[in-house]
Amino acid sequence: MNSLNLVESFAEFKEFKNINRPTMMRILEEVFRSTLSKKFETDENFDVIVNVDKGDLEIWHFREVVEDGEVEDPNRQIALSEALKIEPDFEVGEEVSEEIKLSDFGRREVLTIRQNLAAKIQEYERENEFKKYKDRIGEVVTGEVYQIWKKEILVLDDEDIELILPKTEQIPSDFFRKGDTVRAVVLKVEMRNNNPIIILSRTSPIFLERLFEAEVPEVFDGLITIKNIVREPGERAKVAVESYDDRIDPVGACVGMKGSRIHGIVRELRNENIDVINYTNNTSLYIQRSLSPAKISSITVHEEDKKADVYLKPDQVSLAIGRGGHNIKLAGKLTGYEIDVYRDTDEDLEDVDLQEFSDEIDTWIIDEFRAIGCDSAKSVLELDREELIKRTDLEVETINEVLRILKAEFE
């Protein structure tokens, strides 16, 4: 097997791998030096010259000429009589350079060289992928969905590097097909069994922050600072922003004219509701803003145990709590305070619209009572249990639970 054919067969790796010429030369040299070390016990007095583009590979063995019978290390020294067979004018003390032909390597050694080369290239690519994405943690990347499994999705970037988007890092309403384009943030990069594992996320607050940077130039330029982000992925998010330039309205800049800037973000997040609020060091005002869109009547802050008692008009309570309790939960996370909501009524016996109990009573149950003309708490309590059972299609247990909730409102 001549050098040209051997190097050409090695060069086929280069065609399929994203490896530049100097790197390929270095890898080839490392592989051959490793083989020389095993064959001759050292590679110090060898030169390996590789030209991947031309398919050239030369290995030269350098030895010092010594008198016959004085050779102590045949890998470093050559007897004068042997040297004269190579060139008739060599003298003692000179250096002999002798080319090692690839035919000098056995078939098994050539196979080992190929295996080592393949392993080295894979190792280089793994290290390259790891380093590349380790530096990109927190960046948004775009890839194509290649494979869909029950617990995760395999995504390929533009260099065919494999990225993983776990089910736990997907927005609940996310639905992908093979070939779809997906955007996500690089959450973490780790090595498992010498393989780089690149984890993406669409639920991380960092993803939302990067989307704001992409859509709002003032955020990207640092004129507006995002102080905190909390999310219930796919449901609701709250973003506290601040500007050190009095001429810039941070909330208005983030939302854009008629919501033009935030609309693209909401669409990317599967219609996740995003509340953008002005950050402030005033705790009471910060909590009040965090409960948007509800309007607060009064608030009592307990700094010692990080709690806040918030009083609202009855028609504002359900807004403060939000569907599924998301609004109040996110407000607590955003501010760092445990928030308790209370109805602020001027009269103890003031009637309350049934809709205000939507956080405790399912909407379809409220609709059942509305269908029989009961649209407030008192209008339900004025009827006895048997009458309610008779006039609605509700179970006895359901009516008992509703009555308990409504009675508790007036106790």
Per-residue pLDDT of the chain (411 residues; tens, 9 = 90+): 444 445 555 555 545 556 666 777 777 778 888 887 777 777 787 877 776 565 567 788 788 888 887 877 777 788 888 888 888 888 887 888 777 777 667 777 777 777 887 787 788 888 888 999 999 999 999 999 999 999 999 999 998 899 999 999 999 999 999 999 999 999 999 998 888 999 999 999 999 999 999 999 999 999 999 999 999 999 999 999 999 888 999 999 999 998 999 999 999 999 999 999 999 999 999 999 999 888 898 899 999 999 999 998 887 888 898 888 899 999 999 999 999 998 876 544 567 788 878 878 888 998 888 888 888 888 888 888 888 888 888 888 999 998 988 888 776
* Tokens encoding 183: 């955007």
DSSP of 357-408: GTTTS-HHHHHHHHHTT--BHHHHHTS-HHHHHHHS---HHHHHHHHHHHHH
pLDDT at 157: 93
Instruction: Report CA-CA distances (Å) from 411 to 117, 230, 366, 408.
Output: 81, 36, 21, 5
- Helix (H, G, I), strand (E, B), or coil: what is residue 286? helix
DSSP of 119-158: HHHHHHHHHHHHHHHHTTTT-EEEEEEEEE-SSEEEEE-T
pLDDT at 1: 40
Q: Domain-by-domain residue ranges, the chain?
A: 3-124, 136-201, 354-410
Distance between CA atoms of residues 265 and 286, nearest Å: 24
Q: Does domain 136-201 have CATH number 2.40.50.140?
A: yes
- Helix (H, G, I), strand (E, B), or coil: what is residue 53? coil
* Tokens encoding 392: 């609605």
pLDDT at 368: 87
pLDDT at 3: 47
> Mind spelling out the 3-state secondary structure of 19-39?
CCHHHHHHHHHHHHHHHHHHH
CA-CA-CA-CA dihedral for 386, 392, 396, 401, to nearest 10: -100
Helices (H) and strands (E) counted in the chain, each on its own, are 15, 15
* Tokens encoding 174: 């996310």
Distance between CA atoms of residues 148 and 179, nearest Å: 10
- What number does CATH give the domain 3-124? 3.30.1480.10
